[in-house]
Amino acid sequence: MSSSSLATFRVASRIVLWTFLLTGPLWVACGRKEPPRPPASKVPAKIIDLTVQQRGMEFLLTMSYPSTTMGGLALSEIEAVEIWEVVRYVSPLVGEEEISEEAEAPIAEEAAPVEEPEEEPEEEPQPGLFQLPTDMPAEDQMEDLVTVNPRDFRQSAQLRWTLRDAELTSAVHGGQLLVRLPIDEIPEQEEVRVFAATTLAGPRLVSQFSNLVKIGLREPPEPPTSISVTSTASGVELDWEVESTGLEYNVYRRDAKVKEYGPPLATVPTEAQTYTDRSAAFGNRYIYTITTVSMAKPLVESRIVSEHEVNFEDRFPPSPPENIVALAEEGRVRLLWELSPESDVAGYRVFRQAPGEEFQAITPELVIGSELLDRDVVTGTTYVYFVTAVDGANNQSEASKATTAQVP
């Protein structure tokens, strides 16, 4: 082989070798199969508004019902909601001591510290899942004693609750999901819980972890006592008593056919111990309850101790019309009055008394408006009139003041 041919052969061999080295792994990977990833168009979008509060001996977690997928498409429904939890205990501080060794030990195993950049050795390492911050907050703010690291949460979280079928249906209130988790007891050592939620639209169609929320367990305040619920013309009136001070009050209402309460109907300030539900609609059966709320942050509600059912029916007549005027005209009497102020007034009845007779209704149908012409009269006769208001439930008001007219 000539020297030129040998050189050409060497160049070609190197090209073949480099081509194999660069593309060989791709050829091998072509035969390797990995589990297919679910399409983003079917996976529920991440929940971003999870909240948590303590009511008595239970946690209340609320979040928006997922309506879209990760791909931005409409999501008709979900199959389940999962609640994930991490629990840590915080020790009381003594001088400059940090979290107790007993409480810190599992953290060190679960949360890998973040390495410091070599060029900045003086920088403090990033906190793990739960570590004391540099500036200590007030003693009652145990939530501030921990810092949440989402990565470590994913590694440490335990599945606490799964809602499916009827449980999931009963947890939906409008566009919100309300999940109730029982608290077995209040521990002697301060305890902080961290929660996140995931939603499932089908096998392997699981959303990402929601935003993380944390809450410390506290003794709840005492609930209100002597709750009374009364139906009135302006709404359902609630009154109660309390033994403690420095509290606010949450008023809850649910339809009698619904098992769970939604968000509070109203939050009443501490100086008031009464509330009127003016949004109640006649013809409905409601169940009410009231809780006390500590004004310290975070808010903690009392437990629910009593519920009160009301069959809110319209048994309240409207007020009678006023300023009745009878104008005698030739062969007739014109009656005028002011309308009753109630919004549910359906119309008016006009009553007339002739000499020597009793009052009788002269309007077979309700009068719509504030005027009537009485043509069934006799010249030279004096008549006495009054008017009543009638609402949609056929409740009739008291009689208006009487007025008199003599037909010319």
Whether residue 274 is found in the same domain as residue 153: no
Of 312, 337, 359, the domain-final residue: 312
396: left (phi over 0), alpha (psi -120 to 50) or beta: beta
End-to-end CA distance of the chain: 145
Q: Each residue of 84-97: pLDDT tens digit?
A: 999 888 765 443 33
Is 1 within the bounds of a domain? no
Sheet holding 158-164, edge to edge: 158-164, 80-90, 190-200, 213-216
The answer, yes or no, to whether residue 111 has pLDDT greater than 50, is no
Cβ atoms of 198 and 208 closer than 8 Å:
yes
Residue type, 42: K
Is 14 within the bounds of a domain? no
Is 169 within the bounds of a domain? yes
Is 389 within the bounds of a domain? yes
Tell me what pLDDT residue 125 has: 34
Of 312, 330, 346, the domain-final residue: 312
Q: Average of pLDDT values for 327-331?
A: 95
The pLDDT-based confidence of 382 (bands split at 50, 70, 90) is: very high
Question: What distance in Å separates the CA atoms of residue 387 and residue 61, rounded to the nearest whole number?
Answer: 56
Whether residue 63 is found in the same domain as residue 84: yes
The pLDDT-based confidence of 324 (bands split at 50, 70, 90) is: very high
Tell me what pLDDT residue 118 has: 43
Higher pLDDT, 135 or 43: 43
Tell me what pLDDT residue 218 has: 87
Give how far Cα 11 sits from Cα of 20, 21, 24, 236, 259, Å.
14, 15, 19, 95, 81
Whole-model pTM over 0.75: no
Tokens of 29: 């990977």
Whether residue 253 is found in the same domain as residue 168: no
Residue 381's CATH number: 2.60.40.10
Tell me what pLDDT residue 8 has: 61
Angle (nearest 5°) at CA 212 between 264 and 266: 10
Is 276 within the bounds of a domain? yes
Q: Each residue of 10-19: pLDDT tens digit?
A: 656 666 555 6
Whether residue 57 is found in the same domain as residue 149: yes
Is 357 within the bounds of a domain? yes
Whether residue 56 is found in the same domain as residue 204: yes
Whether residue 208 is found in the same domain as residue 144: yes
Question: What distance in Å separates the CA atoms of residue 237 and residue 232, rounded to the nearest whole number?
Answer: 7
Of 159, 194, 216, the domain-final residue: 216
In whole numbers, what is the pLDDT of the chain averaged over residues? 82
Tokens of 384: 């006495």
Total tally of structural domains belonging to the chain = 3
Residue numbers of the domain that contains 376: 322-406
Whether residue 84 is found in the same domain as residue 203: yes
Whether residue 77 is found in the same domain as residue 211: yes
The answer, yes or no, to whether residue 237 has pLDDT greater than 90, is yes
Tokens of 392: 């949609």
Q: Average of pLDDT values for 171-176?
A: 85
Whether residue 212 is found in the same domain as residue 230: no
Sheet holding 360-361, edge to edge: 360-361, 345-353, 382-391, 403-406
Cβ atoms of 280 and 236 closer than 8 Å:
yes
Q: Each residue of 311-322: pLDDT tens digit?
A: 999 999 999 999
Is 36 within the bounds of a domain? no
Whether residue 137 is found in the same domain as residue 238: no
Whether residue 205 is found in the same domain as residue 61: yes
Whether residue 284 is found in the same domain as residue 171: no
The pLDDT-based confidence of 120 (bands split at 50, 70, 90) is: very low
- How many other CB atoms are found less than 10 A from the CB of residue 268? 20
Give how far Cα 143 sits from Cα of 83, 130, 136, 298, 332, Å.
19, 10, 11, 9, 81
Is 28 within the bounds of a domain? no
The answer, yes or no, to whether residue 190 has pLDDT greater than 70, is yes
Tell me what pLDDT residue 21 has: 54
